């Protein structure tokens, strides 16, 4: 008695989507996307400051404008009070500078997000005449894509969160230096406007997952997969970026305690060690997508410079890269990324760390 094959959107018997994007990204495309990825938020921030709009919304932003203009930057003793952090709290100048800068970045990142997406989509269509589907935005077989995304979320989210907590525990015991806080976490202690809380949630749960997956899984992973030297170029970019982001802490650590020096060096050591992992995959599995996924994940970890968070984020990125290949779509990794950020946000507000 013969048995009919199951018709279950590719889970059994169906031809799977071609792994990886057909868009043959080149080095210039990646550099252009990086430029505009950074350019649009910077432009929006400059407009917000120069137009006076941000100062009108946040009165203490006048201080930020003076700091940007390098006026009284070293001698300023002004305290952050009132609207920026609440009536009873005070922060020294460096903390005030960081909070105002993060608050400006919140506005700029959300407003600039559509411009960044349009630029990447436009580059894809202009350079290659490719559709959004070729970049990974396809609605075909969406039930299967959603199921893969949900399965990935069920496996990845608790695994990464537990692993991250273990890393924080080991890090605290060995280095005995407090872990760094992301700017969004610091902003939760600020007296934000209601619209800024909306921006905060949109940035964490929508903007960041969509933009990062389009860039990392859509552009960078496609580039590393389609070009023989692409992975090496991505690793080189990750190393340079890590040195740039942590150069100031490295210089400061020279005059600090040995533990501070070790803490400052760990991000660079971590990225270099991951580079060896990429070389190993390139040597033994060159015909697979594994080297491209590893290279993309190293860059993904490098741009998230709040140490030691990149350790767990590298592992998360490996899972997201695999979902991109397995599903043939960006929708599955975007779904998992959004659910991961939403879960982390909910846990932070429900059970804040002491």
Among 96, 113, 130, the domain-final residue is 130
pLDDT tens for residues 259-309? 666 777 888 889 999 999 999 999 998 888 999 999 999 999 999 888 889
Question: Global pTM?
Answer: 0.82
Let me know whether 44 and 162 are in one domain.
no
In a domain, 2, yes or no: no
The pLDDT value recorded for residue 123 is 82
- Whether 66 and 201 share a structural domain: no
Q: Tell me the HSE value of 92 on the side-chain side, using a 13 A CA sphere.
A: 3
Domain co-membership, 252 together with 123: no
Residue 4 included in any domain = no
**Is there a domain that residue 3 lies in?**
no
Same domain, 116 and 150: no
Q: What is the pLDDT along the chain (354 residues), one digit of tens a residue?
A: 434 444 444 443 444 444 444 566 788 888 888 888 889 999 998 898 888 888 788 766 655 555 555 444 444 433 333 333 333 333 444 566 677 778 888 999 999 999 999 998 888 777 766 666 667 776 667 788 889 999 999 999 999 999 999 998 888 787 766 667 777 877 777 778 888 899 999 999 999 999 999 999 988 998 898 888 889 999 999 999 888 887 776 666 566 666 666 777 888 889 999 999 999 999 998 888 999 999 999 999 999 888 889 999 999 999 999 999 888 889 999 999 999 999 999 998 887 655
Give the residue numbers spanning the domain of 282. Answer: 135-354
Domain count across the chain: 2
End-of-domain residue from the set 130, 155, 173:
130
Note whether 77 and 211 are same-domain residues: no
Identify the burial level of 287 via C-beta atoms within 10 angstroms of its C-beta, where 0-12 means exposed, 13-18 middle and 19 or more buried.
exposed
- Residue 293 and residue 285: Cα distance in Å, rounded? 12
20 within a domain of the structure (yes/no): no
Q: Clarify whether residues 117 and 242 are in a common domain.
A: no
């Amino acid at each position: 008695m013969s048995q009919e094959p199951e018709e279950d959107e590719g889970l059994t018997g169906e031809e799977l989507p071609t792994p990886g994007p057909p868009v043959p990204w080149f080095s210039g495309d990646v550099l252009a996307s990086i430029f505009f990825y950074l350019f649009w938020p910077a432009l929006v921030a400059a407009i917000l400051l120069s137009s006076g709009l941000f100062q009108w919304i946040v009165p203490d932003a006048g201080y930020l404008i003076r700091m940007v203009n390098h006026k009284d930057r070293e001698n300023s003793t002004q305290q952050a009070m009132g609207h920026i952090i609440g009536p009873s709290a005070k922060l020294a100048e460096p903390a005030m500078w960081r909070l105002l800068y993060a608050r400006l970045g919140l506005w700029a990142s959300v407003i600039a997000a559509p411009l960044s997406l349009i630029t990447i989509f436009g580059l894809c269509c202009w350079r290659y005449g490719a559709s959004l589907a070729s970049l990974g935005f396809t609605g075909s077989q969406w039930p299967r894509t959603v199921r893969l995304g949900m399965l990935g979320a069920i496996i990845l989210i608790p695994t990464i969160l537990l692993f991250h907590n273990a890393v924080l525990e080991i890090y605290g015991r060995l280095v005995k230096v407090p872990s760094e806080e992301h700017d969004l976490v610091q902003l939760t202690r600020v007296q934000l406007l209601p619209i800024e809380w909306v921006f905060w949630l949109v940035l964490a749960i929508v903007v960041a997952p969509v933009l990062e997956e389009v860039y990392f899984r859509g552009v960078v992973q496609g580039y590393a997969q389609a070009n023989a030297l692409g992975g090496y170029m991505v690793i080189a970019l990750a190393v340079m970026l890590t040195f740039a982001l942590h150069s100031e802490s490295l210089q400061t650590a020279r005059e600090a305690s040995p533990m501070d020096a070790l803490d400052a060096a760990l991000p660079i050591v971590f990225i270099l060690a991951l580079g060896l992992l990429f070389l190993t995959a390139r040597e033994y599995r060159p015909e697979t997508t594994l080297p491209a996924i590893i290279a993309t994940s190293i860059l993904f970890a490098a741009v998230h410079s709040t140490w030691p968070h990149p350790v767990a984020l590298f592992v998360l990125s490996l899972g997201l890269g695999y979902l991109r290949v397995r599903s043939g779509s960006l929708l599955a990794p975007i779904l998992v990324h959004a659910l991961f950020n939403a879960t982390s946000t909910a846990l932070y507000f429900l059970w804040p760390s002491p």
